[in-house]
């Protein structure tokens, strides 16, 4: 019999210990103590403090566990931390354990000077002074076309196409006649003949015919070939004037073209432009001669550049200016219309700077959380200035050396709002309720009695008791 009794005693002790160690048991034992402290008044939803329950459990809307509100937090006796919190509206006390759990880091606002990198967004464009257009100076027909297409790399004097122009025959024949006259007069001059004195006029005529052929589209290379062979060519060659890339090609075999038609457009990309977008507030840092660094996104390639000019045109849609940057394009890594990143080193004077993540920007105002005591944080509105990489300048609202929340400020902000909501909707304490009842009775005595005519007995007008709000006033 004693063994059975001992067995049930052991089972009961284990069950009691399990119940006391469980969350339910801890909440039940925490509802009251012999001296009356830590008495649970009600339970609230952490996400919606307006929801209250007299029993523990979970919130019906979000499923979070209800948090208890204790009686000692609503009494008139407050500690030094509460007095300190009352002097800073919106302040909240977070112990070190919670700070470590939620990654709250505290640091000091510093006053410093130095340099930072102004990052711009740019687009590659050909240098306009290195773009060559090959146009027709006469009517004609395209005969042969090379394999060079748009985007192909071509060498200087490489034949791109050939054409025939019947109206160019007279000019070619005159050029050949002038070449023969030049040879004859040079020979006469060498022999001392009087006819040799006309060499100057012959050279002037030859120079005129050379310019006419250039205007027709003939290259200097083919004119030298005619000088050497003294034969009229069957067609005129279209050659590349420089080493570069074909930007445009508008010819095909057998095509008839008119005068002034553009055959090819060649771009020399050994040096290119980068057109960077500069906001009007940052335009003051760019001037002609500034050294910058141009890099390709996602690639380990960068190029030195120099600002040649800040264009006067203003884009009202993006509210930005265009900065023209000249870059030596080694290996032709930069191609037209590619997007690049531009970094410009900018120096700034001594100012108060904090990490950009320490500032909460709601769109209407910017806020930081300042630490006054160990774990006591209060919000403070600040005005920000320039941004230095991952730091931001504070122009008003913060002094150097003040401790602020560097990371985890979203958690601190939510705790501050939760505490404010809890204080607004907290029930009235016993002492405040007695003061309210006495004030109501005194007001009733001061009011004159209202008598209703007729045989019915006058009845006192009903009064409605409205509990005053306790906590911080929120407008």
Q: How confident is the model at residue 182 (pLDDT cuts 50, 70, 90)?
A: confident
Q: How confident is the model at residue 84 (pLDDT cuts 50, 70, 90)?
A: very low
- Summarize the confidence of residues 10-37 as an average pLDDT: 52
Cα gap 338→301, rounded to integer Å:
14
Higher pLDDT, 152 or 422: 152
What CATH class does 118-127+269-344 carry? mainly beta
Q: What is the pLDDT of residue 450?
A: 44
pLDDT of 424 above 60: no
Q: How confident is the model at residue 300 (pLDDT cuts 50, 70, 90)?
A: confident
Indicate the average pLDDT of the chain: 77
- Summarize the confidence of residues 148-155 as an average pLDDT: 93
> Percentage of the chain with pLDDT > 70?
72
Q: What is the pLDDT of residue 81?
A: 45
Torsions phi, psi for 143 (to 5 deg):
-105, -70
Asked if 285 and 305 count as a contact pair (C-beta separation under 8 A), the reply is: no
pLDDT of 206 above 70: yes
- Summarize the confidence of residues 325-349 as an average pLDDT: 90
Most confident of 33-47, 125-139, 176-190, 206-220: 125-139
Cα gap 282→385, rounded to integer Å:
12
Give how far the C-alpha of residue 393 lies from the chain's centroid of Cα atoms, to the nearest Å. Answer: 17
pTM of the predicted protein model: 0.55
Q: What is the pLDDT of residue 29?
A: 46
Specify the CATH number of the domain 99-116+349-424: 2.40.420.20
pLDDT of 135 above 50: yes
- Summarize the confidence of residues 326-335 as an average pLDDT: 92
Q: How confident is the model at residue 315 (pLDDT cuts 50, 70, 90)?
A: confident
Q: How confident is the model at residue 281 (pLDDT cuts 50, 70, 90)?
A: confident
Q: What is the pLDDT of residue 391?
A: 82
Q: What is the pLDDT of residue 268?
A: 94
Cα gap 52→42, rounded to integer Å:
7
The pair of structure tokens assigned to 42 is 């009600």
Q: What is the pLDDT of residue 37?
A: 52
């Amino acid at each position: 019999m004693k063994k059975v009794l001992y067995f049930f005693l052991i089972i009961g002790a284990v069950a009691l210990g399990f119940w006391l160690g469980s969350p339910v048991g801890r909440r039940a034992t925490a509802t009251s103590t012999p001296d009356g402290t830590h008495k649970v008044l009600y339970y609230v939803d952490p996400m919606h403090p307006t929801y209250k329950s007299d029993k523990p459990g979970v919130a019906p809307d979000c499923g979070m566990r209800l948090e208890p509100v204790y009686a000692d937090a609503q009494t008139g006796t407050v500690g030094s931390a509460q007095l300190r919190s009352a002097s800073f509206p919106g302040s909240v006390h977070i112990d070190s354990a919670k700070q470590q759990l939620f990654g709250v880091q505290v640091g000091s606002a510093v006053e410093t000077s130095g340099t930072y990198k102004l990052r711009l967004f740019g687009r590659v464009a050909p240098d306009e002074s290195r773009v060559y257009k090959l146009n027709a100076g006469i009517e004609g027909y395209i005969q042969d076309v090379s394999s060079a297409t748009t985007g192909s790399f071509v060498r200087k004097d490489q034949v791109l196409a050939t054409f025939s122009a019947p109206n160019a025959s007279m000019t070619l024949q005159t050029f050949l006649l002038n070449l023969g006259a030049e040879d004859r007069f040079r020979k006469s001059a060498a022999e001392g003949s009087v006819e040799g004195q006309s060499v100057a006029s012959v050279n002037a005529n030859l120079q005129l015919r050379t310019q006419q052929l250039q205007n027709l589209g003939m290259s200097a290379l083919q004119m030298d070939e005619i000088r050497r062979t003294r034969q009229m060519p069957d067609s005129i060659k279209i050659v590349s004037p420089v080493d570069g890339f074909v930007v445009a090609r508008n010819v095909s075999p057998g095509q008839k073209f008119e005068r002034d038609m553009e055959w090819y457009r060649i771009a020399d990309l050994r040096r290119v432009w980068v057109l960077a977008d500069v906001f009007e507030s940052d335009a003051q840092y760019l001037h002609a001669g500034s050294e910058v660094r141009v890099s390709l996104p996602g690639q380990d390639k960068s190029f030195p550049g120099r600002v040649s000019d800040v264009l006067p045109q203003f884009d009202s849609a993006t509210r930005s200016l265009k900065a023209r940057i000249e870059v030596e394009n080694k290996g032709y890594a930069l191609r037209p219309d590619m997007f690049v990143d531009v970094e410009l080193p900018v120096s700034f004077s001594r100012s108060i700077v904090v990490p950009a993540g320490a500032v909460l920007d709601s769109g209407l105002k910017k806020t930081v959380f300042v630490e006054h005591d160990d774990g006591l944080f209060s919000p403070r509105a600040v005005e920000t200035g320039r941004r230095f990489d991952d730091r931001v300048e504070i122009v008003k609202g913060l002094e150097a050396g003040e401790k602020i929340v560097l990371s985890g400020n979203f958690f601190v902000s939510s705790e501050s709002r939760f505490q404010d909501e809890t204080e607004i909707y907290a029930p009235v304490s016993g002492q405040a309720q007695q003061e309210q009842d006495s004030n109501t009775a005194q007001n009733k005595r001061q009011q004159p009695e209202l008598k209703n005519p007729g045989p019915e007995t006058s009845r006192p007008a009903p009064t409605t008791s409205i509990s005053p709000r306790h906590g911080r006033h929120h407008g």
